[in-house]
Structures are given as C-alpha cells and as structure tokens.
Structure 1
Amino acid sequence: MSEADPREPSAATGFYVYGIARDLADEALGDTRGVSDAPVRLVEEDGLIALASPVSLTEFGERGLRENLEDLDWLEATARAHHAVVDAAAAHATVVPLGLVTVYRSEERVRRALRERKEEFTDALERVAGRTEWGVKAYADVRESQSTASAGGEGSSRPGTSYLQRRLVQKNTAEEERRKAMAVAEYVHCQLRDIAVTTRMHRPQDPQLSGEQGWMLLNAAYLVDDTRAQEFRETVTHLARLNPGVRVRVTGPWAPYSFAVEEEPEEEEAWPEP
C-alpha cells in the first residue's frame, strides 16, 4: 500500500516502487513499462537499487487509491504491470519484490528508505539469491454422496431406520475419503518441503479465483535453489501421477514474492478442515 507520509506537503508526482535489487544495469529493463505505462527508473542508494516509476498522486495517492482499489480492472492492470517489471529485473539480477502499490512521495523518500532499511533489504536479497519461488496447489473432488434413494427400505419394517443407516454409511465414507485426500496432500507437502529451502502456507483460495472446483487441500509456496528446480518440478509430476485422486498443480518459477519478508517464528502448519 501507499507509504506516502501524510505529514508531508501534497505533490503532483510520487514514486511507485516495485522491488529492491543490486548489481542491475540501467539497460537491463530495456523498454519495460510500469504501472499506468510509466517508464521505470533505477534509484540507487548505498549499494541498493529501487525499481521505481514516477506516478500521479491523483491516481496513486491515498485518496485515489481508496477508489482505484475497488476497481477490479484497474487492480488487475496494476498487478500485471507490477509483476512484469519485477520479472524483467529478476531475469538479470536478484530482486526482492515489494507489495503491490508501494508509493513514496518523492525520490528522496525512496533514497531514505533504502538507507534506513538497508540491513532488512540486504538480508532479504541474500535470502533469495540464486533461488526462485514455486507454487503448488492440490485439489480433490471429495463430497458427501447425493444419493436420491427413497426413505423406504425394501423388506424393512422400519423405513426411517433404514434411511438413517444408509445416510450414516454415506457420511462415514465421505469422511474417510477426505482423510485419505488430506493425507495425500500432507505427503506431497512433506516431499516438496525436503527439497525446498523454506516454505509458506497460504490460505485456501475461493474456487472463483482459482478456477478449480472441489476442495483445496494445499496452497503453498516453496523457495527452491535454482540448482534443484528441475528436481522439484519432476517430483511434483511424479507425486501427481502416484495419486490420481488428488489434482496437483505447479506454477513457477516466480520472483520470490512470498519470501520477501523474513519468516516469522514457525508455527504449526494450518491445514483445511476435513
């Protein structure tokens, strides 16, 4: 979100920052354009480089953002441009992506942030150097049987009891299928975690966003050494073939968005309820 300081006087132009890099040549980004088709500049300070674009504070200031963030078309276009700049830079140097819509009121504010947060940014760059992010999601079509059997049971003197027994069997079967699917997802995660440097568990996505129907079992990001990227992808493919009842999807390699911030103290991993 915008990091403009409300105590500073209003200005017509601010600086949108996509990420932090080092050892990146001016010509590396070529003709890459940023948000709102703005040019991308390299702002260098104290050995660090901010990937930045001059932007209108009418559009990217606090008041404008309150409206624009409600506009899905604007948000999608901004996200695409943000990722395009990060990906272009990541092809030539290590990059720590910043969050969407990180805006400063002036170039001096950008330089000040590079100075004040130098240790944080340097640690992040070292953490992700020579590594990329891979995303893995797993789904299963597990749901309770929608049997339309009548409540009466052939040869049964107590049709209500017969119906309840059948429903109990259906429920137990569905719960067992869910437990098995969850066990598969946990196994997949454990195998991939052994290859990765570190992982992040994300919340399950809404089916309307993921485009996948069914129960999302796993939504995780893995930071993987580039030297093990092929091994990681082949392992995902192998695990997917071993368990055809669970759909496994892999994406990447990506710039390490999920790992730009240092990991907090490890907590017990949260899994979807069966």
Structure 2
Amino acid sequence: MTGLRYVYAVCRPFGAALQSQLTGVAGDPPRTLRHRGLVAVVSHVPEADFTEESLKERLEDLDWLAATARAHQQVIDALTAVTTPLPLRMATVFRDDSGVRVMMEEREGDFLRTLDRLDGRVEWGVKVYVEESAGQDGRGGREPAGKPASGREYLLRRRARTRAGEELWQRAEEFAGRLHGTLADRADDARLHAPQNPALSGATGRNVLNAAYLVRRDLSEEFVELVDRTKDDVPGIRVELTGPWAAYSFAGENPEEGAA
C-alpha cells in the first residue's frame, strides 16, 4: 500500500501481538518497524490528507479531527496493554519507512532514556471540581424557599451565597492541595496541568485540580483505591479519576517538555 507513514509511538521490541482487528488512522492496521533497539508503530495514510497544506484544512474539520484522534488513541491504548509506548504527537508522518528509521536513529539516545524512565509505568489523571449547584448554600444545605420578602432580605441572601461560594472554593483548593500532595508521594512523578475550560471540556463545575501521575503498574490498584477513598471527603467537591494511559504527560526528556 502506498502513502505516507503515520507514526503512533516508539517503544522497545515486544513479543505480544496487537489485536487482530485493530485499525489505525484512515483504517489501515498498524504494524511495527524495527531499527536497532527501537520499534516504531506505524500505518499507511493517504498523502492527500497529510501533507502540510492539506492538514491545515483537515484540522478545521472537527469530524475528521475527532475520528483521527480516536483512531490514534485506539492504537496507543492497545500498545499500552502489551508494552510501554512513548507516544508521538497526532499526525506525525514521514515520506516512507526510511524516513521513520532516520528519525529513530537521530533520536535514539533520547528515546531510550525516556523509555527507561517510563518502563513499567502508566499515567493516571485526577481532576477536582467544585460543584456549586444552584439552590445550595455551599455547605450542602438549601437556601430559604420562596422570594425574599424585602430588598434587605434579598441582599442578605445574596451576601450569604457569595460568602458560602468563597468558603467552598477555599475548602476545594485546600482539599486539592492535600490530595495532590498525597498522590504525588505515591507516584514516581507528577504534573500539574492548567485547569480545564468547561466550555471546551464539557465538564460541569469549576476545575481546581488537573493533575497527572506516573505510577508503577504493580502499584496502580493501590493508587486507585487511595483516590476512591477521598471522593466523598468534602461536600460540593467532585473527584474524577481517568486512566491508565500511556504516559503522555511524562514522555518528554525534560519535565517541562511534555509529550514527545
């Protein structure tokens, strides 16, 4: 099959087979391409969709972008089940197999060092949200029913809502700080990401903690149980756990580098 080579991840050689029905971007099954001590997981994609110019247009097509992201993630998830992948950015493409091998050779030292650091580890994501629901006073109680009898009562209610919201936000920040410290102590590494924009994420509530943790596979069950024990600690606060993922947040050689 002709076309460009789409690269999902780099990893060490592994013996387990990928799922037989697994398809990648543009419907092409992924395969491995070995070069010395590294393996790139690649598939063929049509050049018409992945040249620099066509990508600019394609990235404006939200349906195409979502489908490509899902296919990319499916391959990374399948790899995570059998080995420790170093995921590359979505839409990383090369002209042919030779271009992929040149890339692996040029970055071999960085790839091997990072794979050593990530070996046997996965990423867990933890988010904390403030759920300041309408009609709540911030402590789990209800506001007085009915319309205020006077302007003074209206102002008192409004002041109480503001004060309760500030207190809940402060409790949420303190809770998130304690939780992050506890989880970071149980992880090999941790990253604090910027709070999510609810308009983009679709999540309800205000995000006060958006963190990723690098955890050994054999300690993941203990890590999950630790998060679960905190979920009902503070009324009005929601804790969400996601994973296990490939270690996207820790794939860079330097802590600030992020994904490869």
TM-score normalised by L of structure 2: 0.86
Partner of 2:182: 191
- Residue in 2 that maps onto 1:228: 219
Could you say if the C-alpha distance between residues 58 and 26 of structure 1 is closer, same or farther in structure 2, counting changes exceeding 3 Å?
Answer: farther
Distance 1:103 1:124 in 2: 21
Report deviation, 1:142. 3.3
Q: 1:20 aligns with which of 4, 10, 25?
A: 10
Counterpart of 2:248? 257
Deviations 1:155-204 (A, max 9, x none): xxxxxxx94x7655543332222111111111111111111111112222
Residue 176 in 1 paired to residue 167 in 2? yes
Q: Which residue of 2 aligns with 1:153?
A: 152
Residue in 2 aligned with 1:4? Answer: none
Aligned length: 247
Task: Pick closer, same or farther for the CA change 1:172–1:36 going to 2, 3 Å.
Answer: same
Whether the 8 Å CA contact 1:20–1:51 is kept in 2: the answer is yes
Go from structure 1 to structure 2 and tell me whether the alpha carbon gap of 1:240 and 1:58 turns closer, same or farther (over 3 Å shift). same
Change (3 A) 1:29 1:49: farther
Secondary structure of 2:190's match?
Answer: strand
Task: Specify the structure having the higher radius of gyration (Cα).
Answer: 1
2-structure distance, mates of 1:100, 1:191: 32
Determine if the alignment matches structure 1 residue 102 to structure 2 residue 89.
no
State the match for 1:139 in structure 2: 129
Q: Name the CA distance, whole Å, in 1 between partners of 2:5 and 2:122.
A: 27
Which of these residues, 28, 32, 41, is aligned with residue 22 of structure 2? Answer: 32
Kindly state the Cα deviation for residue 26 of structure 1 after the two structures are TM-superposed: 7.7
Change (3 A) 1:254 1:153: closer
Question: Could you tell me which of 230, 236, 245 is aligned with 1:245?
Answer: 236
CA separation in 1, counterparts of 2:39 and 2:8? 11
Instruction: Name the SS of the counterpart of 2:83 in structure 1.
Output: coil
User: Of the candidates 64, 87, 91, which is equivalent to residue 74 of structure 1?
Assistant: 64
Equivalent AA in structure 1 for residue 97 of structure 2 = E
Q: Is the 8 A contact 2:13 2:34 kept in 1?
A: no
> Could you say which residue in structure 2 is the equivalent of 1:9?
none
Using a 3 Å threshold, how does the CA distance of structure 1 residues 29 and 116 change in structure 2: closer, same or farther?
farther
Show the counterpart of 1:116.
106
Give the SS at the match of 1:142: coil
The answer to whether the 8 Å contact 1:32/1:85 transfers is: yes
TM-score by length of 1: 0.81
Q: Pick which of 16-25 and 169-178 moved more.
A: 169-178
C-alpha distance in 1, partners of 2:51/2:149?
A: 62
Measured after TM superposition, the shift of residue 71 of structure 1 is 1.0
Change (3 A) 1:214 1:186: same
Q: Is the 8 A contact 2:4 2:93 kept in 1?
A: yes
CA separation in 2, counterparts of 1:153 and 1:91? 62
Distance 2:200 2:256 in 1: 29
Q: Which residue of 1 aligns with 2:140?
A: none
Q: Write the mapping of 1:198-217 to structure 2, written as runs, cut at 5 A.
A: 198-217=189-208
For residues 260 and 208 of structure 1, what CA distance do their matches in structure 2 show? 27
Q: Write out per-residue CA displacement over residues 105-137 of structure 1, whole angstroms, 9 at most, x where no aligned residue.
A: 221111001000001110111111111111111
Q: Which runs of 5+ in 1 are unaligned?
A: 1-11, 155-161, 267-274
Q: CA RMSD in A?
A: 2.5
**Unmatched segments (≥5 aa) in structure 2:** 138-142
How far apart, in 1, do the equivalents of 2:131 and 2:47 lie?
A: 47
Aligned residue number for residue 53 of structure 2? 63
The AA in structure 2 aligned to 1:153 is R
- 1:62 & 1:150 partners in 2: Cα distance? 65
CA contact (8 A) 1:26 1:42 kept: no
